[in-house]
Amino acid sequence: MALEDKTNQIQCPCGQIIKDYTDYLLLYLKKDMGEIDILCPNEYCYLRELGFLKFSFENDQIKFERGRFYAPYVTWNSTRINEGETVKILRQHLVDITEKNVTWKKIKKGLLSKKMEGEY
Ligand SMILES: [Zn+2]
Protein backbone atom coordinates (compact mmCIF):
# COMPACT_ATOMS: atom_id res chain seq x y z
CA MET A 1 0.00 0.00 0.00
CA ALA A 2 1.41 3.35 -1.04
CA LEU A 3 1.82 6.19 1.41
CA GLU A 4 -1.05 8.64 1.55
CA ASP A 5 0.12 11.86 0.02
CA LYS A 6 -1.90 15.08 -0.29
CA THR A 7 -0.26 15.87 -3.61
CA ASN A 8 -1.92 12.76 -4.97
CA GLN A 9 -5.34 14.32 -4.64
CA ILE A 10 -7.42 15.09 -7.65
CA GLN A 11 -7.76 18.79 -8.21
CA CYS A 12 -9.63 21.04 -10.59
CA PRO A 13 -7.38 23.48 -12.53
CA CYS A 14 -9.02 26.26 -10.47
CA GLY A 15 -7.39 24.82 -7.32
CA GLN A 16 -10.41 23.08 -5.86
CA ILE A 17 -9.51 19.71 -4.33
CA ILE A 18 -11.91 16.96 -5.30
CA LYS A 19 -11.69 14.21 -2.71
CA ASP A 20 -14.27 11.85 -4.16
CA TYR A 21 -17.49 11.63 -6.17
CA THR A 22 -19.52 13.46 -3.51
CA ASP A 23 -17.61 16.68 -4.23
CA TYR A 24 -18.92 17.06 -7.77
CA LEU A 25 -22.02 19.05 -8.60
CA LEU A 26 -24.44 17.66 -11.10
CA LEU A 27 -26.49 19.76 -13.47
CA TYR A 28 -29.63 18.28 -14.97
CA LEU A 29 -30.44 21.11 -17.39
CA LYS A 30 -29.92 18.97 -20.48
CA LYS A 31 -31.52 15.80 -19.16
CA ASP A 32 -34.22 15.92 -21.85
CA MET A 33 -31.38 15.49 -24.34
CA GLY A 34 -29.92 12.65 -22.33
CA GLU A 35 -27.07 14.57 -20.82
CA ILE A 36 -25.99 15.39 -17.28
CA ASP A 37 -23.18 17.87 -16.71
CA ILE A 38 -20.54 17.25 -14.05
CA LEU A 39 -19.43 20.51 -12.47
CA CYS A 40 -16.63 21.71 -10.22
CA PRO A 41 -18.01 22.56 -6.76
CA ASN A 42 -16.23 25.92 -6.72
CA GLU A 43 -18.76 28.49 -7.87
CA TYR A 44 -15.98 30.83 -9.01
CA CYS A 45 -14.35 28.14 -11.12
CA TYR A 46 -13.48 29.35 -14.62
CA LEU A 47 -13.94 25.88 -16.09
CA ARG A 48 -17.14 24.86 -14.31
CA GLU A 49 -17.87 21.85 -16.58
CA LEU A 50 -15.51 18.98 -15.82
CA GLY A 51 -17.35 16.26 -17.71
CA PHE A 52 -20.65 14.73 -18.63
CA LEU A 53 -22.79 11.61 -18.53
CA LYS A 54 -24.85 10.41 -21.47
CA PHE A 55 -27.94 8.28 -21.28
CA SER A 56 -30.90 7.34 -23.43
CA PHE A 57 -34.53 6.84 -22.63
CA GLU A 58 -36.10 3.90 -24.41
CA ASN A 59 -39.21 1.90 -23.59
CA ASP A 60 -39.62 4.01 -20.46
CA GLN A 61 -36.23 2.87 -19.21
CA ILE A 62 -33.10 4.86 -18.68
CA LYS A 63 -30.06 3.35 -20.29
CA PHE A 64 -26.70 4.68 -19.26
CA GLU A 65 -24.45 5.13 -22.27
CA ARG A 66 -21.16 6.72 -21.29
CA GLY A 67 -19.45 9.21 -19.11
CA ARG A 68 -16.25 11.14 -19.49
CA PHE A 69 -14.26 14.01 -18.13
CA TYR A 70 -13.03 16.79 -20.40
CA ALA A 71 -9.39 16.97 -21.44
CA PRO A 72 -8.33 20.10 -19.45
CA TYR A 73 -9.33 18.43 -16.17
CA VAL A 74 -7.69 15.11 -17.02
CA THR A 75 -4.51 16.69 -18.38
CA TRP A 76 -4.17 18.97 -15.35
CA ASN A 77 -4.16 15.99 -13.03
CA SER A 78 -2.06 13.78 -15.31
CA THR A 79 0.76 16.30 -15.18
CA ARG A 80 0.45 16.74 -11.40
CA ILE A 81 0.11 13.08 -10.42
CA ASN A 82 0.72 10.74 -13.34
CA GLU A 83 -1.38 9.59 -16.21
CA GLY A 84 -2.02 6.01 -15.10
CA GLU A 85 -3.03 6.97 -11.59
CA THR A 86 -5.20 9.87 -12.80
CA VAL A 87 -7.07 7.72 -15.29
CA LYS A 88 -7.66 5.10 -12.61
CA ILE A 89 -9.00 7.57 -10.03
CA LEU A 90 -11.13 9.54 -12.48
CA ARG A 91 -12.62 6.38 -13.93
CA GLN A 92 -13.67 5.38 -10.41
CA HIS A 93 -15.13 8.86 -9.88
CA LEU A 94 -17.28 8.41 -12.99
CA VAL A 95 -18.48 5.01 -11.83
CA ASP A 96 -19.31 6.36 -8.37
CA ILE A 97 -21.08 9.44 -9.75
CA THR A 98 -23.14 7.25 -12.04
CA GLU A 99 -24.02 4.70 -9.39
CA LYS A 100 -24.31 6.80 -6.26
CA ASN A 101 -24.67 10.47 -7.14
CA VAL A 102 -27.17 10.62 -9.97
CA THR A 103 -30.82 10.54 -8.95
CA TRP A 104 -31.86 8.28 -11.81
CA LYS A 105 -35.25 7.62 -10.24
CA LYS A 106 -36.08 11.32 -10.27
CA ILE A 107 -34.88 11.73 -13.84
CA LYS A 108 -36.98 8.81 -14.96
CA LYS A 109 -40.04 10.18 -13.23
CA GLY A 110 -39.53 13.55 -14.87
CA LEU A 111 -39.09 12.06 -18.31
CA LEU A 112 -42.12 9.83 -17.87
CA SER A 113 -44.39 12.67 -16.82
CA LYS A 114 -43.14 14.76 -19.73
CA LYS A 115 -43.95 11.94 -22.09
CA MET A 116 -47.48 11.65 -20.66
CA GLU A 117 -48.10 15.35 -21.14
CA GLY A 118 -47.06 14.99 -24.77
CA GLU A 119 -49.53 12.20 -25.31
CA TYR A 120 -52.59 14.15 -24.23
ZN1 LIG B 1 -12.86 24.28 -10.57
C-alpha 24 to ligand 1 mean position (Å): 10
CA of 93 to the centre of ligand 1 (A): 16
Could you tell me the distance, in angstroms and rounded to a whole number, from the CA of residue 5 to the centre of ligand 1?
A: 21
Query: SS3 of 52, please?
Result: strand
- Torsion angle (degrees, nearest 10) of CA 88, 62, 23, 11: 40
State the pTM of this model.
0.89
| Residue 58: strand, helix, or coil | strand
pLDDT for 87-119, tens place per residue? Answer: 999 999 999 999 999 999 999 999 999 888 876
Across the range 72-98, mean pLDDT stands at 96
